[in-house]
Amino acid sequence: MPSFEPVLLARIAKPNSAKLETYRADGGYEALKKALAMTPVDVTTLVKDSVLRGRGGAGFPAGLKWTFLPKDHPGPIYLCVNADESEPGTFNNRILMELDPHQLIEGIAIACYAIKSEKAYLYLRYEYGRSYRVLDAAIKECYAAGLLGKNILGTGFNLDIVLHRGAAAYICGEETGLIESLEGKRAWPRIKPPFPAIEGLFRKPTIVNNVETLCCVTHILNRGSEWFKSIGVPPDPANPRDLGSYGPKLYCISGHVNKPGCVELPLGVTARELIDEHAGGVWKGRKAKAVVPGGISMGFLSADELDTPLDFNGPGKAGCLGLGTAAVVVVDDQTSMVDVLYNCCRFMSHESCGQCTPCREGTSWMTKILERIRAGHGKMEDLDTLTEVAGSMGIIPGTTICGLSDGAAWPVKNAIKKFRGDFEEYISSGRRSVTSAQELMAGAH
Amino acid sequence: MPTAIINNQPLELKPGEQLNCIQAAQRIGYEIPSYCWHPALSVVASCRMCLVEVGDTKPDGTVVMQPKLVPGCQTPVKEGTVVIADSEKVKAAQKATLEYLLLNHPLDCPTCDQAGECFLQDYSYKYGRGYSRLQEPKNIKPDKDHIGENITLFTDRCIMCTRCVRFTREVSGTSELQVVSRGSAEQIDIFPGIPCDNKLAGNVVDLCPVGALCSKDFLYQQRVWWLKTTKSVCPGCSTGCSVDVDQNEDQLYRLTPRSNPMSQGDFMCDEGRFGWKYIHSDQRLTFPARRKNGEVRTRDWDDIIPSLQKALTKAVAKAPEKCAAVFSPWMTVEEAYMLASYLRGLSPKVKLALGPVKTVGEDDTYPKDFYGKPMEPVKFTIRAEKAPNRRGVQMVLNHFAGAATTLGDLAADGAAGKLEAIYLVGGDPTGWLEPQQATGLGKAALVILQDFMPSAISDRADFMLTGGSFAERDGSFVNYKGLAQEIGRAIRGPDGTRPDGRILWDLTGRRGLFNAAAVRKEMAEKIPAFAAFAQGSLSDFGVLLNEHGAPEPHVVVKA
């Protein structure tokens, strides 16, 4: 693969990268000027032609989503920026927001112009305090410089950005959960249809896009859709529904590696390449046992599957749910999958919003079973129970209102299928990861 | 006509009708189990009990099924929709959902009030598995007795259907109940210090499909399978909520709203729900009496009725214009008709008056916002007029050209010695006669009182006819908008009392046993406004009378 020049992360190492001054010196807000000289329809078409797929997890084409808005709607139309980045192992949005906020704000402005929105809500994860301060300062700079507010750059385009901090809940990253939370309600995802593009925030047409997606929009405007499509992998001819995985992607690498971090690479890099070339290999000279391709709700790749390309198509072929957020978590060969899976289930059980019965009860039940196995009281039939519970909690397309249930069930199904030996060995050897009831309880929250 | 296919059976849809899969399946007599869905509340599709297979018929006639199961409550049934609600896939999903719901449920059915009318029991029996595979301890959540003055919450029985939460948000509007915490730790709760005490709060107990929300009034009083249910109407106000009266061995235990789209909808207010206690009051008039000069001569009905007939005939013959009757808005239309036609049969000059109709404040509409301000659209109204049948009695009196006088005028007549005989009908358990009125009326030569609670005149009455409460009578009430609904005799009153209908049936010289339907048929023939009574029995939802040319008379209520 030819060497790749980072685009999204190009500026993060520069001094004062978050300042408007430096951003403009690097050619910032030129893309916005370019967009404002075009018609909104042309901007949408450009993004649609680039086949930019959403970076938030589902991989839905962003430009296509914009076209779902009702035609000639009197407004208001809203843009919600999903910055509630809470999938375990994911921290790419945080880097973008903390170190290059204007790239995001420019992307927001372009997107709002394209969808004829005059108000954007940036829903920020509560824990990202620094992101909040940086974004807040950047937005104020923009207002002062006439890049936000009324009559932007003298074109008559108005835009306000509202920076909103969530209250620390994973479910607020689900787009309708985010909308409910923004409206001041409990973040219970809505039943669909109607989809947000038809009836979203405050019952108005709403587009929800991820931070990284919007950052990509800035560069697509600057460099064109052909440039974007020159990066990444074309559609898989064997899969007529694959649209291709184009563009640069931020991969977050964490877990048992020597050099965890976030790297920008063209879509389609393999897990092995990521670990060995970009993360300094598995730590302590060990081997990888399992790799999470994109956040724990996507499932696991086994050691044999490390050559899977991490694009929108690849992990699915290896039995995972998808690329997700491209948050790669590496598990070394000294770690029991029982403990890994327990950690996943505990998280999902804690974060289930509790609206749908299968998710509310299933996540906590699976956690209880794994707690028992880890306390040394596991039985072989527990594995079948776990598989069956995970099976009835949801299959894609799921049987619950949102995808959390599927995401909670998938790692269980995946782990028991791919690493059954680990579980059987753990149960039959009478191993325990917790030694007392107190520890068991302490670990539960 | 658009046609959908439900479980391989065709279902014709009426134009403009919006049905979901559950309602469509009901039409062909198939029950799709559900917990969170309720016709009067918004759809949340969260219990996942009503998952069904749904498909569409394409123009070329092929059916394309959706690959996943969808909630029936959320899925509209349209032309060409195919619903399969009894496949193995659906049954497996129902079984799994029920296992989830029972996972942390305490299974304390033996001590649970809901047992016997519990959807968890019913659906587990029909669709569930016989055992739970959970080996770990169940979640235990604290019971919340403080949740309301009349309601209590057994938190661990709750299945989080959120019907109660949606009720307080959408119907009462007061939003006291909410979901707190997350995932399997989730609970229904109130904001500290703001209990669920709105005037419609009792409905959350009926809405609860399991035994989580219980009525403190009914708690541990009866097993529900001992209760016998009679269809009736709440007499608390002129809304005339359709209710079920639940009793066992002549002891009334509870009133629950009976769903009636023609009347109030699905709910009732707490005033009506808990306001029936006077029925078992120890103050009740329990024996009839014939008195002479204040002394009781007999308490035997077989003596009293013929003596009364003689006394009335004599008084009317003496001075018909000095004879009068006061009709209560708590009478049924049948009772009013029998009494009015009897007295007018004695002489057309007998005066007929409508007794006092109590009003308290103004009509109280719901939903209300947190500060008590009413909101549109109105979903429930507690009416200011605190009597069940003012309109029906008025219609009867209109026919007999009565209501030309009032209780006040009659009392003045009595005080002036211008009354020969007065027939008073009470029935308002909250009292209806003021002391000076009683004094005036008491000066009549012949005082006849038909009532079931003591009043200022009950000791003076020459004839004391002990009647019954609404739960002890057959008949019909006409509500504020002219809807006539039957009330049924649920219990027998104390010894010595008789249903008012029976007293009047005997007094008016009819043969056999009192039969409200027969009186209604007679009314349909005699009074055009009651033509809709021709069938005798009114349907479960009642019959609207104002469609048949009976305009709402303008009544100025004088007490």
Q: What is the pLDDT of residues B466-498, one digit of tens each?
A: 999 999 999 999 999 999 999 999 999 999 999
Distance from CA of B356 to the nearest CA of A (A): 49
Would you say A300 and A344 are in contact if contact means Cβ atoms under 8 Å apart?
no
Cβ contact, residue pair A372, B135, below 8 Å: yes
pLDDT per residue as tens digits for the range B340-365: 999 999 999 999 999 999 999 999 99
| A19-40: burial string, b at 16+ Cβ within 10 Å, e else | bbebbeeeebbebbeebbebeb
* DSSP H stretches of helix in B225-367: 270-274, 301-318, 333-346
Cβ contact, residue pair B46, A392, below 8 Å: no
Claim to verify: residue A131 and residue A98 sit in the same structural domain: yes
What residue type is B241 in one-letter code?
C
Whole-angstrom distance, CA of residue B327 vs CA of residue B309: 18
Two structure tokens written together for A271 = 């897990």
- CATH code, A364: 1.20.1440.230
Residue (of B448, B444, B445) closest to B415 by Cα position: B444
Cβ contact, residue pair A361, B100, below 8 Å: yes
Claim to verify: residue A181 and residue A309 sit in the same structural domain: no
User: In this structure, is residue A12 part of a structural domain?
Assistant: no
H helix or E strand, kind and range, residue B407: helix B407-415
Instruction: Work out the number of other CB atoms within 10 angstroms of the CB of residue A399.
Output: 23
- Select the residue of A191, A352, A372 nearest B182 (Cβ to Cβ): A352
Q: How far apart are the first and last CA of chain B?
A: 56
- According to the model, what pLDDT value does residue B314 have? 95
Whole-angstrom distance, CA of residue A326 vs CA of residue A248: 12
What residue type is B192 in one-letter code?
P
Q: Does B184 touch chain A (CB under 8 A)?
A: yes
Is B549 a residue whose pLDDT tops 50? no
Is B553 a residue whose pLDDT tops 50? no
Provide, as residue numbers in chain A, all residues whose Cβ is less than 8 Å from the Cβ of B180: none
Cβ contact, residue pair B43, A357, below 8 Å: no
Cβ contact, residue pair A191, B159, below 8 Å: no
Measured in degrees and rounded to the nearest 5, phi and psi for residue B533 equal -85, 5
CA A393 to chain centre: 22
Whole-angstrom distance, CA of residue B173 vs CA of residue B200: 10
- Entry pTM: 0.92
Would you say B75 and B54 are in contact if contact means Cβ atoms under 8 Å apart?
yes
Instruction: Work out the number of other CB atoms within 10 angstroms of the CB of residue B231.
Output: 16
- Give CA angle at B221 (B215, B224), nearest 5°: 85
Q: Does B124 touch chain A (CB under 8 A)?
A: no
Q: Does B234 touch chain A (CB under 8 A)?
A: no
- CATH code, A303: 3.10.20.600
Packing angle between helix B516-526 and helix B500-507, nearest 10 degrees?
60
- According to the model, what pLDDT value does residue A396 have? 53
Tell me the count of A-B CB pairs closer than 8 A. Answer: 91
Whole-angstrom distance, CA of residue B355 vs CA of residue B343: 16
3-state secondary structure of A160: strand
- According to the model, what pLDDT value does residue B146 have? 94
Distance from CA of B36 to the nearest CA of A (A): 10
- According to the model, what pLDDT value does residue A4 have? 85
Whole-angstrom distance, CA of residue A330 vs CA of residue B274: 64
Measured in degrees and rounded to the nearest 5, phi and psi for residue A122 equal -100, 110
Q: Which residue of B has its CA nearest to A391?
A: B96
Tokens 């005082």: give the residue: B447
User: In this structure, is residue A412 part of a structural domain?
Assistant: yes
Whole-angstrom distance, CA of residue A168 vs CA of residue B157: 29
Residues 6+ apart with CB under 8 A from B343: B312, B316, B323, B325, B350, B352, B423
Would you say A386 and A366 are in contact if contact means Cβ atoms under 8 Å apart?
yes
Q: Which residue of A has its CA nearest to B70?
A: A399
Average pLDDT over residues B81-88: 94
The ipTM is 0.91
Cβ contact, residue pair A372, B49, below 8 Å: no
Cβ contact, residue pair A352, B184, below 8 Å: yes
Question: What sign for the dihedral angle of Cα B480, B486, B490, B496?
Answer: positive
Claim to verify: residue A83 and residue A119 sit in the same structural domain: yes
User: In this structure, is residue A64 part of a structural domain?
Assistant: yes
Whole-angstrom distance, CA of residue A192 vs CA of residue A199: 10
- Select the residue of A169, A191, A352 nearest B45 (Cβ to Cβ): A191
Cβ contact, residue pair B96, A371, below 8 Å: no
Measured in degrees and rounded to the nearest 5, phi and psi for residue A99 equal -110, -20
Question: Which of B21, B66, B184, B187 best probes binding to A when mutated, by most A CB atoms within 10 angstroms?
Answer: B184
Would you say B285 and B429 are in contact if contact means Cβ atoms under 8 Å apart?
no
User: In this structure, is residue A431 part of a structural domain?
Assistant: yes
HEC string for B328-351: CCCCCHHHHHHHHHHHHHHCCCCE
Claim to verify: residue A37 and residue A184 sit in the same structural domain: yes
Question: Which of A346, A359, A361, A388 best probes binding to B when mutated, by most B CB atoms within 10 angstroms?
Answer: A361
Query: Which of residues 32 through 61 in chain B touch A, CB cutoff 8 A?
Result: 43-49, 51
Two structure tokens written together for A244 = 């291709």
Question: Which of B182, B189, B191, B210 best probes binding to A when mutated, by most A CB atoms within 10 angstroms?
Answer: B182
- According to the model, what pLDDT value does residue B556 have? 34
User: In this structure, is residue A184 part of a structural domain?
Assistant: yes
Q: Which residue of A has its CA nearest to B161?
A: A355
Claim to verify: residue A72 and residue A128 sit in the same structural domain: yes
Whole-angstrom distance, CA of residue B90 vs CA of residue B53: 7
CA B35 to chain centre: 24
Q: Which residue of B has its CA nearest to A378?
A: B135
Claim to verify: residue A217 and residue A282 sit in the same structural domain: no
Question: What sign for the dihedral angle of Cα A202, A204, A208, A211?
Answer: negative
- Select the residue of B47, B135, B181 nearest A357 (Cβ to Cβ): B47
Distance from CA of A351 to the nearest CA of B (A): 7
Claim to verify: residue A429 and residue A362 sit in the same structural domain: yes
Claim to verify: residue A192 and residue A155 sit in the same structural domain: yes
- β-sheet bridge partners, residue B254: B246
| A316-340: burial string, b at 16+ Cβ within 10 Å, e else | bebbbbbbbbbbbbbbbeebbbbbb
- According to the model, what pLDDT value does residue A437 have? 58
Provide, as residue numbers in chain B, all residues whose Cβ is less than 8 Å from the Cβ of A350: 182-183
Range(s) of the domain holding residue A343:
337-443
Average pLDDT over residues B78-101: 93
Claim to verify: residue A327 and residue A354 sit in the same structural domain: no
Provide, as residue numbers in chain B, all residues whose Cβ is less than 8 Å from the Cβ of A399: 48, 51, 68-69, 93
Look at residues A280, A299, A332 and tell me which one is the last residue of a structural domain.
A332
Residue (of A266, A260, A340, A275) closest to A307 by Cα position: A275
Give A303's DSSP letter.
Answer: G
Question: What sign for the dihedral angle of Cα B190, B196, B198, B201?
Answer: positive
- Select the residue of B74, B100, B178 nearest A357 (Cβ to Cβ): B100
CA A102 to chain centre: 20
Whole-angstrom distance, CA of residue A163 vs CA of residue A300: 35
Question: What sign for the dihedral angle of Cα A136, A139, A141, A144?
Answer: negative
User: In this structure, is residue A172 part of a structural domain?
Assistant: yes
Look at residues A178, A205, A230 and tell me which one is the last residue of a structural domain.
A230
Whole-angstrom distance, CA of residue B62 vs CA of residue B55: 10
Two structure tokens written together for A323 = 């690329």
What residue type is B257 in one-letter code?
P
Give A375's DSSP letter.
Answer: I
Question: Which of B37, B41, B46 best probes binding to A when mutated, by most A CB atoms within 10 angstroms?
Answer: B46
What residue type is A420 in one-letter code?
R
Cβ contact, residue pair A363, B51, below 8 Å: no
DSSP A215-265: HHHHHHHHH-HHHHHTSEEPPPTT-TT---EESEEEEEEEESBSS-EEEEE
Contacts 24+ apart (CB under 8 A), B14-18: B18/B76
Claim to verify: residue A191 and residue A221 sit in the same structural domain: yes
Distance from CA of B81 to the nearest CA of A (A): 17
DSSP B15-39: TT--EEHHHHHHHTT-PPP-SS--T
pLDDT per residue as tens digits for the range B248-280: 999 999 999 999 999 999 999 999 999 999 999
- Select the residue of B69, B178, B186 nearest A354 (Cβ to Cβ): B186
Residues in chain A: 445
Claim to verify: residue A82 and residue A162 sit in the same structural domain: yes
Q: Is B536 exposed, middle or buried (0-12, 13-18, 19+ CB in 10 A)?
A: middle
Tokens 């990253």: give the residue: A173
Would you say A207 and A121 are in contact if contact means Cβ atoms under 8 Å apart?
no
> How many domains does chain A contain in total?
3
Whole-angstrom distance, CA of residue B483 vs CA of residue B544: 4
Provide, as residue numbers in chain B, all residues whose Cβ is less than 8 Å from the Cβ of A186: 178-179
- Give CA angle at A403 (A398, A408), nearest 5°: 95
Q: Which domains does chain B have, with CATH numbers?
A: 3-86 (3.10.20.740), 101-280 (2.20.25.90), 294-358+389-548 (3.40.50.740)
pLDDT per residue as tens digits for the range B429-465: 998 888 999 999 999 999 999 999 999 999 999 999 9
Average pLDDT over residues B501-523: 95
Q: Does B131 touch chain A (CB under 8 A)?
A: no
Is B557 a residue whose pLDDT tops 90? no
Look at residues A298, A332, A366 and tell me which one is the last residue of a structural domain.
A332
Whole-angstrom distance, CA of residue A336 vs CA of residue A139: 46
Whole-angstrom distance, CA of residue A439 vs CA of residue A435: 7
Whole-angstrom distance, CA of residue A436 vs CA of residue B196: 42
Compute CA distances A311 → A20, A210, A317, B126, whole Å: 33, 17, 11, 46
What is the helix, strand, coil percentage profile of chain B, to 5? 30, 20, 50
Cβ contact, residue pair B69, A371, below 8 Å: no
Two structure tokens written together for B48 = 């996942």
What residue type is B333 in one-letter code?
V
- According to the model, what pLDDT value does residue B336 have? 96
Residues 6+ apart with CB under 8 A from B501: B332, B334, B335, B338, B473, B474, B475, B514, B516, B519
User: In this structure, is residue A226 part of a structural domain?
Assistant: yes
User: In this structure, is residue A195 part of a structural domain?
Assistant: yes
Claim to verify: residue A376 and residue A317 sit in the same structural domain: no
pLDDT along chain A (445 residues), means of 10: 82 94 95 95 96 92 95 92 94 96 97 96 96 97 95 95 93 95 95 92 96 96 94 89 92 96 94 94 94 92 94 91 93 94 95 94 95 92 94 74 92 95 93 68 50
